[in-house]
Structure 1
Amino acid sequence: MSIIPLYYILKILSRLFCLLPESAAYFIGDLIGYITWLFVPPKRKKMAISNAEQALNISAGPASRIVKNSWTRFGPMIIEVLRFPIMRNNMDKYINFSGIKNLDAALSLGRGGIIATAHSDNWELLGGALSQHGYKLVGVSQEQSNQGADKFINEYRAMVGMYIMYKYNVRGMFKMIAKGYLIGLIMDQDAADDGIVIPFLGRDASCAHGAATIARRTQAPIIPIFISKGPGRTHNINIDKAVFVEKTSNKHADIRKTTILLTQKIEEHIKKYPNEWFWLHDRWKSVENHRATKTYT
């Protein structure tokens, strides 16, 4: 599908869901989640359930329910993104902040900052909520293969106040940090050959080290921030105390040490809210296939 039809289809859907009563919009979102679950390939479901069993040390039954819940939540998440035009001016209705003083303390140093987070709950809403709360935020994104989808999602991210930058623009990230911006990095996916191999939920995985690498060079604080489901249709954003990268003569050791710490914080969040993490991503694939060749020691 070309850029023009898909982009305008999404815009029309957004307009329709903004006109619907909130309860009706979310009802459809829940329905989308449950219906699309039926079309997830059995092989992928089996992989995700097995990973949840091993990571959480649980049996197949609870693991199956967790994986299903982690998928079906995408329905309401999509609806929330489509409703950004009306949600952006009323974020306090949907978001509860905890630990905002930790973020303010980190930014008071005048070095910008790096947000370390995960694909949990509605991470798109996390960036929008922080931006609407007055924080200068760069959303670092993966360029979508479909140009229409890419144009739409980046337009809506910008609509809620985020400055959008693709993940390969590392030089641009340094410039924005120097201007006092927060750089939002989602660092829980398989980093393949570019990662550091360390334990993640009990098994070796290739972990992204971008946050630690950038912070070591800029001395910017890294602030772990996670979003989770709250009561009703609300969400909770929890902001942890800043993490700083020690700068010694051993660059690789400094980066590895901080990446381990950030990975542990992601693990803690997933264990606390297992239904909200994206289990259908094969997090351990590259290491188990012996393709993670670049590691830090």
Structure 2
Amino acid sequence: MLYYVLQAISALACAMPRSLCDFLGRVLGNFAWLVVPSKRKKMAVGQVKMCLGVDEAEAVRIAKASTVRFGPMLFEVLRFPVIKKHAADYVRIEGLEKLQQSLSDGQGAILATAHTDNWELFGGALAMAGIPLVGVAMKQKNSAADRFINEYRTMIGMHITYKTGVREMFAMLQKGWVIGLIMDQDTNRHDGVVLNFFGRPTNCTPGAASMARFRNVPIIPAFMHQDERGGHTLVVHDPIYVDNTGDKREDIRRTTQVINDVIEAHVRKYPEEWFWLHDRWKSVREDFSESDYRHYE
């Protein structure tokens, strides 16, 4: 039933003017901020203060803006059937030639990004621009919601695989596809590597560097942000290459740190667009001194 409800809501959103959808999205986002549990709000505000060194009022403003944007983001996903026909009106891409050049030898590449702006539209914009992109997704707990979002992802050109589909990722990479990885969420300590992020020990996922080193392909950082047109600008950065010194662990650590530095720089530039509600330091707080996370509580 939920699947058909989502389809109906999408049809309605596609029939409405873009400006009305943007307005309704902001209304929905502001309501979402009101119902976020106080403990989660406090955590998000604490992370903003800790990372950016701002005062309480500014931290609340940034955390709230980060949450409110989920409303317009949802409406944009619902409007994928419309956006597919008018992609250039929604997303402007800078540096696409860097990604195209990296793919020219047919060996594929790793795309490293973060939970910033509308990451669902981010992947779709590159796919609609002709990039053979594999979106690596987390399976939704609700099967109807999972079916809906994956159909809409594939509608705008992405190939979707789940995080557990590592063998498929390597197979697609060998065929010249780009593997899109979101690199800014906490992972379990067994799979992660502790590096520096915003000056604090942070558990980071080494997947991009590990895959790139194994297949000898470049890592392309890319991020999207809201622009003055009321749309989005997607910026593709210069490729990062993983050294192969013989010390696999250190090669992966060093490259993952470089990726984290690029992510941090983007978040500092567009702090309102990052996913501050995610508990980024959950798995490491107890292992380090309180001074490392003094603004967290």
| Class of the TM-score when normalised by the shorter of the 2 chains | over 0.9
Cα distance in 1 for residues equivalent to 2:238 and 2:181: 16
Pairs aligned (count): 287
Match of 1:175 in 2: 171
Which residue of the other structure, out of 53, 75, 78, is the alignment partner of 2:74? 78
Shift, 1:177, TM fit: 0.5
Per the alignment, in what secondary structure is the counterpart of residue 141 of structure 2? coil
Match of 1:145 in 2: 141
For 1:60, the aligned partner's letter is E
1:176-191 equivalence runs, <5 A: 176-191=172-187
Match of 1:264 in 2: 261
Which residue of the other structure, out of 89, 96, 100, is the alignment partner of 1:93? 89
In the alignment, is the contact (CA less than 8 A) between 1:137 and 1:182 conserved in 2?
A: yes
4+ long deviations beyond 4 Å: none
Shift, 1:232, TM fit: 3.7
Cα distance in 1 for residues equivalent to 2:187 and 2:63: 22
Which residue of the other structure, out of 213, 217, 228, is the alignment partner of 1:216? 213
Which residue of the other structure, out of 116, 119, 123, is the alignment partner of 1:123? 119
Match of 1:294 in 2: none
**What are the superposed Cα offsets for residues 150-169 of structure 1, whole Å, 9 maximum, x if unpaired?**
11100000000000000111
Match of 2:150 in 1: 154
Shift, 1:181, TM fit: 0.4
Per the alignment, in what secondary structure is the counterpart of residue 89 of structure 1? coil
**What are the superposed Cα offsets for residues 178-237 of structure 1, whole Å, 9 maximum, x if unpaired?**
111000000100012211001111211110110000000001110000000012431000
In the alignment, is the contact (CA less than 8 A) between 1:48 and 1:282 conserved in 2?
A: yes
Per the alignment, in what secondary structure is the counterpart of residue 173 of structure 1? helix
Cα distance in 1 for residues equivalent to 2:54 and 2:20: 36
Match of 1:281 in 2: 278
Which residue of the other structure, out of 18, 27, 32, is the alignment partner of 1:31? 27
Which residue of the other structure, out of 61, 65, 68, is the alignment partner of 1:69? 65
Shift, 1:98, TM fit: 1.1
Deviates more, 1:241-250 or 1:119-128: 241-250
In the alignment, is the contact (CA less than 8 A) between 2:209 and 2:252 conserved in 1?
A: yes
| 1:135 and 2:159 aligned | no
Query: Unaligned 5+ residue runs, structure 2?
Result: 289-297
Per the alignment, in what secondary structure is the counterpart of residue 281 of structure 1? coil
Percent identical residues = 49
For 2:281, the aligned partner's letter is W
Task: Normalising by structure 1, report the TM-score.
Answer: 0.95
Shift, 1:243, TM fit: 0.6
Task: Normalising by structure 2, report the TM-score.
Answer: 0.95
Cα distance in 2 for residues equivalent to 1:95 and 1:16: 22
In the alignment, is the contact (CA less than 8 A) between 2:202 and 2:284 conserved in 1?
A: yes
Shift, 1:290, TM fit: 3.9
The Cα RMSD (Å) is: 1.0
Cα distance in 2 for residues equivalent to 1:269 and 1:23: 27
**What are the superposed Cα offsets for residues 42-96 of structure 1, whole Å, 9 maximum, x if unpaired?**
1110111011101011111111100000000000000000000111121001111
